[in-house]
A and B are shown apart, each in its own frame.
Chain A
């Protein structure tokens, strides 16, 4: 069974029934068994499941913090906005045949679990994007493409709306920035970006935006102070 987790403002409980009743022997009498070994094997399967989730580019980039008690959350962001929410349960079914277990043992279970993992990742993507949309709507930095294809102009518009921090040496920190899009579109955008980066005017515009962002960051930083 999974544990209660938090991905920033996204709260959910992931349940993975690693030993459902239908997978238990239906005999009344007890046959020789190896529960301690099974526990170790199922633990490995759990790590594999968790590893797959962490390997997802979007989900893996977000810090997952365990919470140990309580049902409610009141999460304040850097602007002081507090979002209240209760823990959500996310459950993912998986199917596995006794015959598959008989034939292939743990591998059959791992395959089935991998399918459940894919469902979980998909559900987490949806929840994350829903929450991100709510947040951008709230702070008012949504950019409407108006049905137009992705362009350099749209890219700069997006850059201008997001808050970018800089390190002590003044370098932009975009480690937490992600562009999320359909894989087909991502391929097209990647190719476009490579072209744009060779374009001097694109580079100049990018530098100008970063200069502005750096100034904004300096202003923000200078506000981080103790006053009377």
Chain B
């Protein structure tokens, strides 16, 4: 059944979507992936470049669908480059011949195979020293995927149910984050590794699973959902490897692959956004208003976060000028729907500061602080609900077509983000504003969830932890506040180890925002 499910995915997907999973399979086979065109431009007919376990350089060109003579003629130029041009990549010896592969999720017809064989033999006969072209059609590709992850796919209900629901999800929707966390934690990352290969198997399987679970989102080019999906996988890998103290050499390259995929989707999201006059989406009859404003906040926050991610070994496609242009054009339509909107605004503020747009950044931060303080002090009017409620639940609670299970009013007077926002102001020396609002500020209960194990911040929900809450000091020393706001000693090493995973993870899991995490990200 699982084999059929993977086959179903493989024949329907495109090369962009299976390429990352294929890279992971190659890594599982002992390759070191140097380049993947999903994460950067294609290198002379070579979508993937690796150093194999044999020490030789391997170059792959990936395609979608059956390759008959007509298709073969269409790609012959690229194939010629793949075979004839040496691999021009830092660290690769150009004088040594490489191995070349044509990969497709379809079949390769016999006449094409004959032509490939003839060409290979001709090259050998004439001692041209070109690479010999090998083919990896669907059947071989399928076998490698099944071998890589088959034993990790969930087989028990309700995991299988969540698995299938995700696979069949409407790709235009927001990603059901809870389900993806559940599938990964219930399959690839469910056990404790006892030997090195367990870790490698777990990470490999997870990457293949995520590739095909995100298929419907890939098909609709829902890049934000894709970015969330890859971020969830990055978080699961971070938690799993930290919890089991697994050495980085066993997972670092895989995590890089995941982060590169996350970044590639954010770059595509930016390109999509830059071509639009507004951010209306889908059926516009029911769009606009608060929905548009929420989408605007999400878009700007995600793109700002992308620009601020620590650089990795992959070629990142970033464009701070375009993002600044987008923020200037759309920031007026922002919406702060609750605590779960804070991470988006945080990254917009940080990005603006990085671009020296201090006045706008300051306006946004001041406005946020005043809004949280006032809404939580007042007994009527707008509410900032808990970060455990995402934008979709909050929007749904405003549609009067059903009995509502969500009572937003109970969240009045308490906040998970008021302390991190306060500390941001303190670090920026905004004593005047804080002093002006302190009396009302002291009425807001400050909440925080503290997991027993630091790496559990990368989980969706956890049992082992404490819901801490309390009120600020009525009389507060500014000097003490400054000292606390700059104190990085409570930052656990795992935050620093996964500093590149943490930022986007906060957009996916806004309930993980704590003063300490924001302190670690806000402090140079």
Q: Which residues of A contact B (CB under 8 A)?
A: 6, 43-44, 47, 63-78, 80, 82, 220-221, 223-228
Contacting pair A228 B466 (CB below 8 A): no
Contacting pair B410 A227 (CB below 8 A): no
Chain A: minimal CB distance from B195 (Å): 32
For the complex, give the distance between the alpha carbons of A13 and B89 in Å. 60
Contacting pair A76 B463 (CB below 8 A): no
For the complex, give the distance between the alpha carbons of A78 and B473 in Å. 8
Contacting pair B467 A221 (CB below 8 A): no
For the complex, give the distance between the alpha carbons of A85 and B512 in Å. 22
Contacting pair B478 A228 (CB below 8 A): yes
Contacting pair B474 A226 (CB below 8 A): no
Mark interface residues in B450-477 (1 if CB within 8 Å of A CB, else 0).
0100000000011111111111011111
Contacting pair A226 B470 (CB below 8 A): no
Q: Given contacts A64-B410, A65-B410, A66-B410, are A226 and B476 in contact (CB under 8 A)? A: yes
Quick check: is B335 within 8 A (CB to CB) of the other chain?
Answer: no
Contacting pair A80 B470 (CB below 8 A): yes
Q: Which of B61-69, B115-123, B124-132, B430-438 lies at the interface?
A: B430-438
Within 8 A of A (CB), among B290-343: none
Q: Which of B410, B473, B479 contacts A63 (CB 8 A)?
A: B410
Chain B: minimal CB distance from A65 (Å): 5
List chain B residues, Cβ under 8 A from A43: 403
For the complex, give the distance between the alpha carbons of A67 and B467 in Å. 8
Contacting pair A76 B469 (CB below 8 A): yes
Q: Which of A69, A72, A77 contacts B461 (CB 8 A)?
A: A69
Q: Which residues of B contact A (CB under 8 A)?
A: 386, 388, 403, 410-411, 413-414, 431, 434-435, 438-439, 442, 449, 451, 461-471, 473-479, 481, 511
11 contacts between A and B (CB under 8 A): A43-B403, A63-B413, A68-B388, A70-B451, A71-B463, A71-B465, A73-B466, A76-B469, A76-B470, A223-B475, A224-B438
Contacting pair A69 B438 (CB below 8 A): no
Chain A: minimal CB distance from B203 (Å): 26
Chain B: minimal CB distance from A165 (Å): 10
Chain A: minimal CB distance from B155 (Å): 24
Contacting pair A228 B442 (CB below 8 A): no
List chain A residues, Cβ under 8 A from B468: 73-76
Q: Which of B434, B449, B475 contacts A70 (CB 8 A)?
A: B449
Contacting pair B476 A227 (CB below 8 A): yes
Chain B: minimal CB distance from A60 (Å): 12
Q: Given A75-B469, A80-B470, A224-B439, list of 16 further CB < 8 A pairs?
A: A65-B411, A66-B386, A66-B388, A68-B386, A68-B388, A69-B461, A69-B467, A71-B465, A74-B469, A77-B471, A221-B439, A224-B442, A225-B439, A226-B477, A226-B478, A227-B475
Q: Given contacts A77-B471, A220-B474, A228-B477, are A69 and B465 in contact (CB under 8 A)? A: yes
Chain A: minimal CB distance from B419 (Å): 12
Q: Which of A66, A74, A225 contacts B475 (CB 8 A)?
A: A225
List chain B residues, Cβ under 8 A from A82: 470
Q: Given contacts A43-B403, A69-B449, A69-B461, are A227 and B469 in contact (CB under 8 A)? A: no
Contacting pair B438 A225 (CB below 8 A): yes
For the complex, give the distance between the alpha carbons of A221 and B221 in Å. 55
Contacting pair B388 A75 (CB below 8 A): no
For the complex, give the distance between the alpha carbons of A221 and B465 in Å. 34
For the complex, give the distance between the alpha carbons of A74 and B449 in Å. 10
Q: Given contacts A63-B410, A221-B439, A227-B477, are A68 and B403 in contact (CB under 8 A)? A: no
Contacting pair B464 A71 (CB below 8 A): yes
For the complex, give the distance between the alpha carbons of A225 and B479 in Å. 13
Contacting pair B442 A72 (CB below 8 A): no
Q: Given contacts A44-B403, A226-B478, A228-B478, are A72 and B467 in contact (CB under 8 A)? A: yes
Chain A: minimal CB distance from B416 (Å): 11
List chain B residues, Cβ under 8 A from A226: 431, 434-435, 438, 476-478, 481
Contacting pair B511 A68 (CB below 8 A): yes
For the complex, give the distance between the alpha carbons of A82 and B434 in Å. 25
List chain B residues, Cβ under 8 A from A65: 410-411, 414
The residue in chain A whose Cβ has the minimal distance to the Cβ of B411 is: A65
List chain A residues, Cβ under 8 A from B439: 221, 224-225
Chain A: minimal CB distance from B379 (Å): 9
List chain A residues, Cβ under 8 A from B403: 43-44, 47
List chain B residues, Cβ under 8 A from A228: 477-479
The residue in chain B whose Cβ has the minimal distance to the Cβ of A64 is: B410
Smallest CB-CB A-B distances: 8 pairs? A76-B470, A72-B466, A70-B465, A224-B439, A68-B388, A226-B435, A69-B461, A74-B468
For the complex, give the distance between the alpha carbons of A220 and B442 in Å. 11
Chain B: minimal CB distance from A171 (Å): 13
For the complex, give the distance between the alpha carbons of A221 and B511 in Å. 32
List chain A residues, Cβ under 8 A from B481: 226
List chain B residues, Cβ under 8 A from A63: 410, 413
Contacting pair B410 A70 (CB below 8 A): no
For the complex, give the distance between the alpha carbons of A221 and B473 in Å. 12
Contacting pair B463 A69 (CB below 8 A): yes
The residue in chain A whose Cβ has the minimal distance to the Cβ of B472 is: A224
List chain A residues, Cβ under 8 A from B477: 226-228
Chain A: minimal CB distance from B340 (Å): 12
List chain B residues, Cβ under 8 A from A75: 468-470
For the complex, give the distance between the alpha carbons of A73 and B450 in Å. 10
The residue in chain A whose Cβ has the minimal distance to the Cβ of B471 is: A78
Q: Given contacts A65-B414, A69-B449, A224-B442, are A74 and B467 in contact (CB under 8 A)? A: yes
List chain A residues, Cβ under 8 A from B461: 68-69
For the complex, give the distance between the alpha carbons of A143 and B481 in Å. 39
List chain B residues, Cβ under 8 A from A77: 470-471
List chain A residues, Cβ under 8 A from B478: 226-228
The residue in chain B whose Cβ has the minimal distance to the Cβ of A175 is: B379
Chain A: minimal CB distance from B295 (Å): 25
Among A44, A72, A221, the one with the most B-chain Cβ atoms within 10 Å of its Cβ is A72
The residue in chain B whose Cβ has the minimal distance to the Cβ of A79 is: B471
For the complex, give the distance between the alpha carbons of A133 and B386 in Å. 30
List chain B residues, Cβ under 8 A from A71: 463-465
The residue in chain A whose Cβ has the minimal distance to the Cβ of B477 is: A227
For the complex, give the distance between the alpha carbons of A73 and B451 in Å. 11
Chain B: minimal CB distance from A88 (Å): 14
The residue in chain B whose Cβ has the minimal distance to the Cβ of A63 is: B410
Chain A: minimal CB distance from B426 (Å): 10
For the complex, give the distance between the alpha carbons of A214 and B131 in Å. 90
List chain A residues, Cβ under 8 A from B462: 69-70
List chain A residues, Cβ under 8 A from B451: 70
For the complex, give the distance between the alpha carbons of A21 and B461 in Å. 28
Chain B: minimal CB distance from A108 (Å): 22
Q: Given contacts A43-B403, A65-B414, A226-B434, are A73 and B467 in contact (CB under 8 A)? A: yes
List chain B residues, Cβ under 8 A from A70: 449, 451, 462-467
